[in-house]
């Protein structure tokens, strides 16, 4: 089992970026009322053919030449299945990949969310070349943000510029953090 759901989000976004995605969409819903955590990450990267798709769930398969194991997807599948949930991986060469995982929130083995606000903030400001779209849905409300929307406001400034970074940190603190308490 992994430390938290944020670990999985970072892994899935890194997978998408490594596949050359221009847009990566992360959706997370976390509800005690419906006792469910649902995570989906979709990208428009190079995708996988049927052979690569079948291998992607194997911990001893990776296309990243510098290592011998590829643990991200198998760990998420194992976590979802252990938590009475399910896991779906779909991909088409040339048109992208979609990963969906669902877990029973109250299950003993269900990992905590982790620091979702800081994780998404860091991904947003560090992924320079990508449009990251993020939406969170919880029992207390919804939060949506995208790098395209922030770049429009930021003009010529980079998202990691201190002024933009501090604006975003306050924005996440005011709008996302209260939904997570
Ligand atoms: N979004 C994606 N688009 C295209 N190929 C993907 C995508 N996600 C995973 N893959 C393929 O599946 C392989 C396994 O992914 P997985 O996350 O399990 O391991 P990894 O990324 O190789 O290593 P790790 O996650 O341990 O750092 C990747 O090496 C890549 O070839
Ligand atoms: Mg990975």
Mutate to test the pocket of ligand 1, among 11, 17, 52, 56 (most ligand atoms within 8 A of CB): 56
Q: CB burial class (10 A; 0-12, 13-18, 19+) of residue 132?
A: buried
Q: Where are the domains of the chain?
A: 5-180
Where does the pLDDT of residue 163 fall: very low under 50, low under 70, confident under 90, or very high at 90 and above? Answer: very high
What distance in Å separates the CA atoms of residue 170 and residue 167, rounded to the nearest whole number?
A: 5
Task: With a cut of 90, say whether residue 1 has pLDDT above it.
Answer: no
- Decide if 122 contacts 147 (C-beta within 8 A): no
The pLDDT tens digits of the residues spanning 49-72 come to 999 999 999 988 888 877 777 889
**The CATH number of the domain covering residues in 5-180:** 3.30.565
| pLDDT for 64 | 85
What distance in Å separates the CA atoms of residue 75 and residue 118, rounded to the nearest whole number?
A: 22
- Report, as an integer, the average pLDDT of 23-44: 98
Where are the strands (E) in 15-152, listed by range? 23-31, 36-43, 86-92, 96-104, 131-138, 141-146
Nearest CA to ligand 1 atom 23: 70
Please give the mean pLDDT across all residues of the chain. 95
């Amino acid at each position: 089992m992994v430390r938290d759901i944020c670990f999985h989000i970072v892994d899935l976004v890194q997978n998408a970026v490594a596949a050359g995605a221009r847009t990566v969409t992360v959706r997370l819903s976390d509800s005690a009322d419906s006792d469910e955590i649902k995570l989906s990450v979709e990208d428009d990267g190079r995708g996988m053919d049927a052979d690569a798709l079948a291998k992607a769930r194997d911990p001893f398969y990776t296309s990243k030449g510098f290592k011998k194991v590829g643990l991200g997807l198998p760990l998420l599948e194992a976590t979802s299945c252990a938590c009475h949930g399910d896991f779906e991986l779909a991909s088409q060469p040339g048109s992208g990949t979609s990963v969906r995982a669902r877990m029973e929130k109250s299950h003993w083995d269900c990992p905590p969310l982790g620091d979702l606000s800081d994780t998404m903030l860091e991904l947003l400001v560090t992924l320079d070349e990508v449009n990251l779209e993020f939406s969170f849905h919880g029992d207390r409300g919804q939060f949506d943000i995208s790098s395209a929307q922030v770049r429009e406001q930021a003009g010529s400034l980079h998202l990691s510029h201190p002024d933009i970074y501090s604006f975003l940190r306050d924005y996440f603190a005011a709008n996302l953090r209260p939904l997570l308490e």
